[in-house]
Structure 1
Amino acid sequence: MTRDNERLPFLQIHPKDNVLVALSDLPEGFEVNFAGQQFALRQAVKAKHKFTIEDIAQDGDVFMYGVLVGKVNVALATGELISTENLRHAAEDFRLGERKIEWQKPDVSAIADRTFDGFHRSNGAVGTANYWLVIPLVFCENRNVLTLKSALEEKLGYRVQSADYSNEVDELIRQYQSGADVTQLLEADLSPTAIDRTPNRLFPNVDGVKFLNHDMGCGGTRMDSDALCGLLAGYITHPNVAGATVLSLGCQHAQASILRDEIAKRDPKFDKPLYVFEQQFEGTEQRLMQNAIKSTFAGLTIANQLKREPAPLSKLCVGLECGGSDGFSGISANPALGYLSDLLVTLGGSVILAEFPELCGVEQEMSDRCMDEPMAEKFIHLMRTYNAKAEADGSGFYMNPSPGNIRDGLITDAIKSAGAAKKGGSSPVQAVVDYPELANTPGLNLLCTPGNDVESTTAEVGAGANIVLFTTGLGTPTGNPIAPVIKIATNTKTYERMPDIIDLNCGTIIDGEESIAESAHRILDYVIEVASGREICKAVQLGQDDFIPWRRGVSL
């Protein structure tokens, strides 16, 4: 998007597109001057939504980002609003094609020598944080994990100070007892309580002890329990993790032996402290808890010996995520991440593009960018298998857009996907990975995950992402227990409305204040500060430790 286009109240994303995106609310009758033609809008068009720039016959094609994104249900005239009533999802078929792996690398001379201060592991990986994990192998141990959390978190200085609204309740009680009616109570002026987030940690070089809960490990399919072990192994071997305490019941599907095998697959020379306790072997809960507490405390003394040291940016593995997307996602924050992705790839770093339902419609491009045919065939197989399973369960990719997506301009899955794919930049695909395997090959990695924000973020971190960049148009608090999740707004209104959960604003691109490249470099500056521990992103400040393993059933 050029600065000239940004001065206009609408935008054509690709020369092939036969619709324009409204960058601000446009009234009915608004005169559009574009590409030598002049016409009036037939309906009001809200910002983020689209309107036609040519007559389109019934069942005719609609193009955005240069790809097919839908077919019209009725004939549309020039200047018509595109809506769910007149447009249905459609996407081009895809097949194994020619390799298209030539690309224009961005200039990285200004950042080639930049570093971040991270935690260096014995296997060569570098963490952006240093955590201890407490993990249940099965849901039966969730209560014991929470018991450990209650015993350890506050005493060690890791309890996140959440907002306390008890003073507000006290004020309402006081007014009610003084005779306030319903209207007065609803209009009561409640002063917020100040929050002290200053940490007072016993182990200053350990960023936290994270307690993961889940509802898996037994009772489901063996495939799901095996995948859980793989995911947990990804977290234990993660560069942001110093060691782990694992609680097992003993009889569940997700056996400790399977977990150890998965750890060995990911790190054959694994040497982090790992303490595994089986309740059926330990006997009493008291014995289990005391042994787990002693081992965890001892492990923390080991973890505290590690300190941050400089590392090249090639040691970053960045997960690319979007959630609560809107009609500006694909023209502001997502392409900014795409540019940043290309910067990191050029420097030798790794990026992970996931959310396969949100690659629907751009399969041909992504498969053509795979380095070799076997890799392209693997991507095609994963996409087709996933969509077929979704359709068999009555929920194909076409059902992916949420009510919020649709309300803010993403009215078909292909529109949403074409914009979401922009996060992956233009570099060749170096690896195609199925969940829950590692996806940290230098370059662009495609990781098969659902589009669900938390399931996908959980998977990206398990696959090796030591930091996650998360774009949002509507706003979301999503975070992760062990990797910083940096939230980036696609529009200025959302950024200003939700400053407590969003870190950066790419609405500057829509507002014409910044180019995509300038925005990408600004994001990279912040990434380096967060990766070095000098800045704490909002999700970490709030203790937003979202962790949801993916059951391999349908989840979009």
Structure 2
Amino acid sequence: MTPLPSILLVHPDDSVAVAMVPLAAGSQVDVGGRHILLTQDIPQGHKLAVRAVTAGDPALRYGFAFGVATAPIAVGEHVHSHNVHTALGTGNAYRYARPAPMADVQANERQFDGYVRADGSVGTRNEIWIIPTVGCVGRTAERLAAQAGRDLPPGIDGIHAFPHPLGCSQLSDDLSGTTGILAALAQHPNAGGVLLLGLGCESNQMALMLDRIPMERRDRIRTLGAQASYDEMAEGLVAIAELAAIAGQDRRQPVPLSALRLGVKCGGSDGLSGLTANPLIGRMADAVGAAGGSVLLTEIPEIFGAEQILMDRCVDEPTFDALVGLVHRFKDYFVAHGEPVSENPSPGNIKGGITTLEEKSLGAVQKAGHVPVTGVIPYAGRASGAGLTVLEGPGNDAVSTTALAAAGATLTLFSTGRGTPLGSPVPTVKIASNSALASAKPGWIDFDGGTVLDKGMDAATNDLLDTVIAIASGRPARNEVNEERSIAIWKRGVTL
């Protein structure tokens, strides 16, 4: 096995390098033939100065500023939140320029075995989903799923309930968001059948959800109002059996990689995420995008400081304007609640070596690879067409993975440097940024992104693509093995 490098300089203009292994004060590292004496201990994933930085000057990583030095930083010093601070604000002026031709990425001819739906979409699973309109019947939905799933009908990959606490005591856009997310999930290609379970008196009336679902999708949907039913459990089980009889006739068939709708996500990032796991996910995005498939990116606060990189890939000016508007609205959302736009990274991110939101964002946008931005959609919107769609949504892991699934992602790649068991309604494939995490939490992690450091990016890319194809074709992701499937809805209004 090739020994790991002690440090990695991402861009020749960078003022910092990243420690790939823990480094002790007094040791020396080589940077382009220069020997640098470390004056402080540098934990793995953290940064050391390879150039002196004057107080008030920008500190550079990935070739971009990730913050401003708050004190003089000498070569060999630890660079982190004690001497670098964010420079983010709300008054950014963005520029549009016609995008340069994208670098050629050879179209990938790989296939996976998926479920082709009547509308042309392709699922990676054939499941029955029970979606409550309101939190009051969430537990009823879980009981139905558990009872119906005891003897799984042939041809059905699973029966799952997705309880949530909302659907009542909501108003206006807040209620509309809940209705939209649930209606979008009810149309998901991974659901061979859907039972919409209502109470009866809730704000999120069943009719509101049905109004958002095209008639051609309703042959795979059944509805049940608990208050109007003498025995909602018995009626629910009958409805599920009807759906299973229909969906059980579906069969997997070979489809091209272009049929995959790929969600990309990061959570619990560390200083290696932007060097290993996120670029690997970017390679998967490029493969799907080059094949003519769809890639979905959200977590808008986690592109702050790197948004211009995505804006430079917008295919036309209207798409650019839509992305600029989305970024400004999200910053206004923070300000309206009295919060700074830079209120990130999380404590776990900081412990892992990420200093500012700009640094986190510069690493996070790499998940999108080089795919052109072809669409910008609101929360609860559904993606259509090839290319990269930017989806309105927060960084919260549960909320954003739910939004990706509702927008149409049939498989989500989720990078993590700290680890998480969380799963969404679709296969949520965890990619560790470092091998230590992959070894420590094999029950959570699907792929060790740390192999980039010893096998190289190309070999790791091929290995990850094999994993993606296998999971898209039916091999359970770790979240599915662990029965970690849940939804969370973005609550933005008052509660009555």
The verdict on a shared fold, with TM-score over 0.5 as the criterion, is yes
In the alignment, which of 130, 136, 140 is matched to residue 132 of structure 2?
Answer: 136
* 2:489 corresponds to: 549
Aligned AA (1:541): V
The CA distance in 1 between the partners of 2:335 and 2:75, in whole Å, is 34
Equivalent pair of 1:105/1:342 in contact (CA under 8 Å): no
The residue number in structure 1 matching 2:436 is: 493
Please name the residue that 2:114 is paired with: 118
Q: CA RMSD in A?
A: 1.9
User: For 1:323-346, what per-residue CA distance to the aligned partner results, in whole angstroms no more than 9, with x for missing partners?
Assistant: 111110000010011112111111
Is 1:38–2:43 an aligned residue pair? no
Alignment of structure 1 residues 115-194 onto 2, 5 Å: 115-154=111-150, 156=151
Distance 1:39 1:538 in 2: 42
Aligned 8 A contact 2:48 2:76 in 1? yes
Give the TM-score, by structure 1 length: 0.85
Q: Which secondary structure does the structure 1 equivalent of 2:78 belong to?
A: coil
1:161 aligned residue: none
Q: Which residue of 1 aligns with 2:51?
A: 54
- Following superposition, the deviation at residue 19 of structure 1 comes to 0.8
- Distance in 1 between residues matched to 2:473 and 2:292, nearest whole Å: 18
In the alignment, which of 216, 239, 242 is matched to residue 166 of structure 2? 216
Among all aligned residue pairs of Structure 1 and Structure 2, give the percentage whose two residues are the same amino acid. Answer: 35
Whether 2:71 is the aligned partner of 1:66: answer no
Q: Distance in 2 between matches of 1:69 and 1:257?
A: 48
Is the CA contact 1:334–1:419 (under 8 Å) kept in the aligned structure 2? yes
Secondary structure class of the residue paired with 1:119 = strand
Which has the higher mean CA deviation after the structures are superposed, 439-448 or 314-323? 439-448
String of CA shifts for 1:272-293, please: whole Å, max 9, x gaps: 32111223433x4x2x332222
Distance 1:399 1:351, change over 3 A: same
* 1:164 matched residue in structure 2: none
- Residue identity matched to 1:59: G
Unaligned runs of 5+ in 2: none
User: 1:99 matched to which residue of 2?
Assistant: 98
Q: 1:522 aligns with which of 448, 451, 463?
A: 463
What is the match of residue 476 of structure 2? 536
Query: Is this contact kept in 2: 1:53–1:79, CA < 8 A?
Result: yes
User: Is the aligned partner of 1:504 residue 2:447?
Assistant: yes
Comparing 465-474 with 291-300, greater Cα deviation is found at 291-300
Question: Counterpart of 1:127 in structure 2: which amino acid?
Answer: G
Contact 1:68 1:91 in 2 (8 A): no
Q: How does 1:435-514 map to 2 (within 5 A)?
A: 435-481=379-425, 483-510=426-453, 513-514=454-455
Question: What is the CA–CA distance in structure 2 between the aligned matches of 1:308 and 1:95, rounded to whole Å?
Answer: 45
CA drift at 1:99: 2.3
8 Å Cα contact 1:222/1:253 also seen in 2 = no
Alpha carbons 2:6, 2:29 under 8 Å: kept: no
Kindly tell me the number of residue pairs found equivalent between the two proteins: 492
Q: Which whole-Å CA distance do the structure 2 matches of 1:472 and 1:427 have between them? A: 22
* Amino acid across the alignment from 1:9: S
Question: Contact 2:8 / 2:19 at 8 angstroms: preserved in 1?
Answer: yes
CA distance in structure 2 between the partners assigned to 1:439 and 1:450 by the alignment: 17
Q: Which amino acid aligns with 2:228?
A: F
* 1:94 Cα deviation after fit: 4.1
Contact 2:131 2:186 (C-alpha < 8 Å) held by counterparts: no
Matches of 2:187 and 2:205, distance apart in 1: 17
* Residue type at the aligned position of 2:222: Y
Q: 3-state DSSP class of the match of 1:33?
A: strand
Matched, 1:276 2:194: no
Q: How does 1:297-446 map to 2 (within 5 A)?
A: 297-446=241-390
Answer whether contact 1:319 1:352 (CA < 8 A) is retained. Answer: yes
- 1:44 deviates by 1.1
- The separation in 1 between residues aligned to 2:437 and 2:226, in whole angstroms, is 47
Residue 87 of structure 1 corresponds to 84
Q: Name stretches of at least 5 consecutive residues in structure 1 with no aligned partner.
A: 157-200
The residue type equivalent to 1:431 in the other structure is G
Q: How far apart are residue 124 of structure 1 and its match?
A: 0.7
- The C-alpha deviation readout for 1:29-60, integer Å capped at 9, x for no partner, is 22233235433112111111111122211111
- Residue 123 of structure 1 deviates from its aligned partner by 0.5
- The one-letter code matched in structure 1 to 2:464 is I
Among 173, 176, 192, which residue is 1:226 paired with?
Answer: 176
Q: Note the C-alpha offset of 1:101.
A: 4.4
Contact 2:142-2:160 within 8 A present in 1 as well: no
SS at match of 2:342: helix
Cα distance between partner residues in 1 of 2:373 and 2:280:
18
Distance in structure 2 (CA, Å) of the matches to 1:553 and 1:84 = 34
**Greater than 6 Å deviation, 4+ residue runs:** none
Distance in 2 separating the partners of 1:204 and 1:151: 16
Partner of 1:170: none
Equivalent position amino acid for 2:397 in 1: D
Q: Which residue of 2 aligns with 1:14?
A: 11
